[in-house]
Structure 1
Amino acid sequence: MILSMIPALSQASSSAVILQYHHVSDKTPRITSVTPETFKKHMNYLAENKFNVIPLVDAVEALRSKQALPEKTVTITFDDAYLSIYTNAFPVLKEYGFPFTIFVTPTPVDKNYQKFLSWEQLREMAQGGATLANHTMSHDHSVERLSGETEEQWLSRFRQDLEVTETRIQEKTGQSVKMFAWTFGETTPELRAALDDMGYVGFGQQSGAAGEYSDFTRLPRFPMAGIYGVNDFGIKVKSRALPVTTQSPDSSLISQDNLKPELELTLAKGDYQKKQLKCYASGQGELKITWLDEEMTHLKTQANKPLPVGRTRYNCTAPSNSGRHYYWYSHAWLRLTDEGKALD
């Protein structure tokens, strides 16, 4: 039971930070990689600063049940089942005794692709503290529809892929935790509704801590790759969830007639400095914030210039009243090509 796995609370929090890694290598694309040296520094930071590193399933259960977590609670995840997780990350994780989750794409594992893990290695890591979860069979763009495909057919294809992937992981490892990471962090309200209907928890690639108000079909994770997490790792792992109770629009998709989308947020009370809240857009810097009420609980913000094809994020942050933490919220936007395709 989760109650026995979480230590007595000296300082309680309603947030958990979920870290997302792909490659742990200096020979893979920088945009999806951290070097082994950086990964070692990250884990050493967590250990030396006495972070509470727990399994992802336990963090999710605590958040959903509104059970207080210890301050500085972190969970570690990897996407895609790359070989470098086994060769470069697993020895470090074993050294520190940290549990972790791998979101597995079975097709390259089944086909013995060179840079991917084997089922034997995945089972070995499962015995050493890894949770194995769902990341689609072949890492396709779930948001894309096939030519002539109806919405019902599209959602049926997504559901079938989810079931086939979960069955394959269970057949090969014995695990079935019904947790799912969106490929490329891309999703839509229709896909999320299907995921929720099937009893899964979903995870995105938008930054921020997860909290009691988070959407459990697209929980935030901090991407750790390239420039991200190298110089500001300590700030991110100490962050807390900005208490966003409602968001509009609900979708990430933007259309040609709305290339500077407006985001509206409603905030609950919390230990953050409202007057210091700032929002930023990828590649655009700081955005203007307009408060829509005197109590400063409802705001809107908008891009300064049209968003490009691909993925963009609005990040909103505010310091805590003590100045020791940042409260963080991120929304991912997705602009498809004119042909309705998503970029890799």
Structure 2
Amino acid sequence: MRFKMTKTVAALNRERLRAVVFALIAIGLLFQSSCATLEVALKKAEKSLWQEKPPEPLQFQSDEYIVYRLQEGETPVTLAERFLGDEKRSWVIEEANEDIEFRENQVIIIPLKEENKGGLAIDGYQAVPILSYHHFAENCESHLCISASVFDQQMRYLKNNGYRVITMRELLGFMQYRHAIPKRSIIITIDDGYRSAYDIAYPVLKKYGFTATLFIYTDYVGVSKSAITWDQLREMEVDGFEVGSHTISHCDLTKKMTGEQYQDYLARIKREIFDSKQIIDKELRQDTFCFAYPYSRYNASVLNLCEQAGYKIGVTVDRGGNAFFKDPLVLDRNQILKSYMYAFMANLKTFNKFSLK
């Protein structure tokens, strides 16, 4: 009887032990489940925190400027088209954010108003160099000829050093105090109408995203294999190049012929000035507004006739830059005659110091 009772107590103890073990296991499983649930919750919260809506790109806007946070793939060109209405005004955004890398989440300034239309500063004023070329070849002997390799080197220098090639039309707007232009603006011109302007200079200029103004004398167009053609000029105009007059025959407009009376002289130079414009206007379907004086020679009669003909800009080969207040009918140009880079660089001055204090 005692043995039976002892066995029963032992059985009960085993059952109690088993129950305690099961309870501990259940509690452990419950705790483990709670920890797993907490961990999942934390991960969800962390993920939600990182997936919060990114900052709005438009940080601030007034009538004068925008503070903007760049989004992926945005560039000064796309921003200029969106906010300034013209992708060609990307320089406005670039100059307002000098030394800033355009990358995602970078905050930049976008000016909305024209500033400093005349390029004036307290220590001086902006000047626009106009570079004058004539002929190009693979190898040159004439001082008016620039080799293809040297021309490429010069254009690469302009591109790598922040110079911006503008058009005569843009220069005219600047000189009429209608709009600002880039700080390091220059203009490239090519005189006479040699075929090399199309064969050599044109591809190089396109390579660097530049344009030029060609001054042609109409008697020379298409007369030989060394002369540019009207079709080539039309092609270049489609790419943003401009064409101006260099008279009909490239004569010295200030010089009377032997035995020529003054009235006959005036009539002759009037034909050179007026008729060349009419020929170019008809061939290229444009209103020619710029004129280059052959041999850089002009006088009061020539200037008067140019104005009557409707030219807005006249260029010489007197050295120097052009401020907005310069007479637009007698602009300076720098002839590029030597192949040395230091000589080329000396023609690129875009700011004249002049203290206004």
Does the TM-score normalized on the shorter chain lie above 0.5? Answer: yes
Residue 26 and residue 187 in structure 1: after superposition, are their counterparts in 2 closer, same or farther (change >3 A)?
Answer: farther
Using the TM superposition, give the Cα deviation of residue 26 of structure 1 relative to its aligned residue in structure 2, in angstroms: 4.5
Mapping of residues 263-282 of structure 1, within 5 Å: 270-271=354-355
Q: How many angstroms does 1:106 deviate by? A: 1.4
Q: Which amino acid aligns with 2:266?
A: L
- Could you tell me which amino acid in structure 2 is paired with residue 235 of structure 1? A
1:134 equivalent to 2:249? Answer: no
Partner of 2:127: 15
Partner of residue 186 from structure 2, selected from 63, 74, 80: 74
1:103 aligned residue: 215
- Please give the alpha-carbon distance, in whole angstroms, between the structure 1 residues aligned to 2:177 and 2:326: 12
TM-score (structure 1 length as normaliser): 0.64
The separation in 1 between residues aligned to 2:348 and 2:159, in whole angstroms, is 12
Q: Identity of paired residues, percent?
A: 25
Match of 1:238 in 2: 349
**Which residue of 2 is the match for residue 183 of structure 1?**
294
Count the aligned residue pairs: 243
- Corresponding residue for 2:273? 162
Give the 5 Å matches for 1:11-50: 13=119, 14-27=126-139, 29-50=141-162
| From 232, 236, 246, the counterpart of 1:121 | 232
State the Cα deviation string for residues 105-160 of structure 1 (Å, max 9, x = none).
111214x2231111121111111221111011111111111233333332232222
Paired position in structure 2 for 1:149:
260
Corresponding residue SS for 2:221? helix
Q: 1:216 to 1:152 in 2, by over 3 A?
A: farther
Q: Deviations over 1:72-129 (max 9, x none)?
A: 101111000111111111111111121211001111214x223111112111111122
Q: Distance in 1 between matches of 2:85 and 2:331?
A: 22
TM-score, structure 2 as length reference:
0.62
- How is 1:311-330 mapped onto 2 (pairs within 5 angstroms)? none
**Residues 165 and 35 (structure 1), Cα distance of their counterparts in 2 relative to 1, 3 Å cut:** same
Larger radius of gyration: 2
What CA distance in whole angstroms lies between the structure 2 residues aligned with 1:105 and 1:152? 23
Q: Distance in 1 between matches of 2:288 and 2:196?
A: 23
Distance, in Å, in 2 between the alignment partners of 1:43 and 1:74 is: 12
- What is the letter of the counterpart of residue 315 of structure 2? F
Supply the RMSD in Å over aligned alpha carbons. Answer: 2.6
Cα deviation, residue 237, structure 1: 1.2
Give the Cα–Cα distance (whole angstroms) in 2 for the partners of residues 237 and 188 of structure 1.
28
Distance 1:142 1:240 in 2: 32
Contact 2:140 2:147 (8 Å CA) reproduced: no
Q: Residue type of the partner of 2:173? A: E
Aligned with residue 52 of structure 1, among 153, 161, 164? 164
- Which residues of structure 1 form unaligned runs of 5+? 243-269, 273-320, 322-344
Cα displacement string for residues 304-332 of structure 1 (whole angstroms, at most 9, x for unaligned residues): xxxxxxxxxxxxxxxxx9xxxxxxxxxxx
Q: CA deviation at 1:213?
A: 2.9
Report the counterpart of residue 210 of structure 1 in structure 2.
322
Secondary structure, in 3 states, of the residue corresponding to 2:342? Answer: coil
Q: C-alpha displacement at 1:204, in angstroms?
A: 0.3
Shift in CA distance, 28/113, structure 1 to aligned 2, threshold 3 Å: farther
Greater per-residue helix proportion: 2
Q: In structure 1, what is the Cα distance between the partners aligned to 2:195 and 2:286?
A: 20
CA shift for structure 1 position 35: 1.1
User: Aligned equivalents of 2:269 and 2:217: distance in 1?
Assistant: 14
Secondary structure at 2:242 match in 1: strand
SS at match of 1:99: coil
Find the aligned partners of 1:117 and 1:16 in 2 and give their Cα distance.
Answer: 28
Alignment partner, residue 284 of structure 1: none
